[in-house]
Structure 1
Amino acid sequence: MPSSSATPDASSTPPAEAAALSVNALSERLVTRLVEDAARFGASVSHTDAGTVLVDAGVAAPGSVAAGVLIARICMGGLGHVTVRESLDMQALWPSMIEVRTSWPVLACLGSQYAGWSLSATKEQTGGKKFFSLGSGPARALAVKEPLFAELNYHDSHTRGALVLEVDRLPPQVVIDKVLFDCNLSPARLTLVTTPTHSVAGTVQVVARVVEVALHKTHVLGVPLSEVVEGGGSAPLPPPAPDGIQAMGRTNDAILYGGRVHLTVKHDAAAKQLAAELPASTSRDYGRPFADIFTAFNYDFYQIDPALFAPAEVWVSSLESGKTWHGGRVDAALLHDQWNAQP
């Protein structure tokens, strides 16, 4: 999803407690678990000649829902809880739901989870096909290559890092070298995790961005990020589609038409504004499956109305008054039309 390029704002500065946290240190044990238990998670591990760890969680390896949950927690810098809840109640929105919660929403979602680091290489650089991926996860905070980090006033300095790439092949050496240089890491201290959108793990880790999407739109709306003190949400977990565009469409639809988020903010004014302006239904492009929208705009994210990238439904509670405001709605019919087998 497109990143904002707003100018630095002191109101976005995190509290001192957040600045003291290292998202790479907090997620390191999760990365170790993924690598050491790779076979159990349906992943495979390889190393470059220099020792960089490459985890395949959906390119050639099958991956799994469990792998996707763990990778989503890594993406959140160890500051989020991610679970899968199952319900076969016919009144439920969908049988499998991803649930996410964090007490550090700005740092976990924007300082770590947000896929904001653009990594690319030409076919000349790779010796074959050109490469492009958006990097997400804690190593972003080591490199701080995005303007967003100036607003967050956050820079991690841990000596190990992990980055998640949503792409259908392992990264070429030229991209690995760029990440190492920008993160100031020795090769053996970097782990790169690859999760294609059409894979099981990739679907999970994208849908687990339901709260992150809400934080990003909060940022786009100009509400000070320092307002948001807690965040939780859920979204349906669809089966991945074999076609890349349809797989991307399903993960986006899960959030845009099935995502529900509850934010806690400091003041009533912010709660009222977010309840009114945050839901995806405020967008001019709302109402069609995302794959159709993406195709209509010539496969260019940046032509799509940025207001679309948001959860379907929000509740926003204010610490100032103790009141909660509600906005948006879930469109279960659209999801079932897209995902269910037709007679």
Structure 2
Amino acid sequence: MGVVGLPNIGKSSLFNALTNSSVPAENYPFCTIDPSEALVQVPDTRFDWLCNTYQPNKITPAHLTVLDIAGLVRGAAQGAGLGNAFLANVGSVDGLYHLVRAFEDDDVTHVENTVDPRRDLGIIQDELRLKDEESMERTLTEWTRLATKPSASRTLKDQLQILEQVTTFMANGTRDVRKGQWTQEQAQVINSLHLLTAKPMVYLCNVSMDDYLSGVTKDIRWLTDIQEWVNENNPGDIIIPLSVSFESKISEMGLEERTDYLASVGVESQLPKVILAGYKALHLIHYFTCGPQEVRAWSVRDNSKAPEAAGVIHTDFTRGFTGVEIMKYNDLYQLKTEAAVRSAGKLLQKGKDYIIEDGDIAHFKVRKKKIAYVWRSCF
């Protein structure tokens, strides 16, 4: 997930709070020139329970990669500011956190001079769309040229027709490509184009610390404006209000001090919610392998079949897959031990068509050459 938005609205400070990193966060545009990258742990109480239960020598939670991308400005698609480089960085990520400013502060400059979330949201969306249109124009010219050759395949001509449909959709300028109603065949072509407006988006509304602590963030006018804009342009997208100032403050505290402070103010950090929203926006889930050596969460795409999930551990496991033993987390949680799960007849034997579910505890059976063996972290 990449963090995008106008310059000087709290992106680097949010990144620092998310990742406990030390990225420059000064009060001027273009402070972050090269994208900073870090891994953040995906919060999961199931993982915590498994670690307490197995007491392993090593723990490896699920992670989400987050990139801090420097601010886009009006005209970025035509090269304004450092637009071309920044838009290329946007193209390198799978999904986007779109941070928008929803607070007044005379000490924090705004690149557009006034605070107007609807305008700011529109600027970023327009720049991403303009860059996509530029990319589509080049692709359309090239594919049209190739399709006129006598050797052009029927597949290429079909893809060109889809490309023209996508180009028409984008020319209307009403919604992002990801909000179009596409068939599976059309979606495959769109995915090959790596369009910026095809990436999933999570909107983060940066309110002041006072508003956040007062608990009235739902009532401030800018959040209403943001909600209306998202409903009009990208309905269904997640919107999360938070205060970057607040998150920055508590990220600098020790665990005990932070716990006491949060109890005293009666609010919680929104960062776990932000991380989970990004993880789910990328259609990721994770399964577990558990044992005294290691408890580990393995991230896979939702709807992955068991051989694909096994391949995340090692590619040989996909080729040699013969089966998988599955324990459901809730069964283990209720029955406490693997032996009890087995005795209750709830240890499931599944084959290559089994679709891994979020929270599964998996033990893969793998055949290597002529020898069958079971990959188990539990034993």
- Give TM-score, length-normalised by structure 1: 0.24
Which structure has the larger Rg over C-alpha atoms?
Answer: 2
Please identify which structure carries the higher helix content. Answer: 2
Q: Using structure 2 for the length normalisation, give the TM-score.
A: 0.22
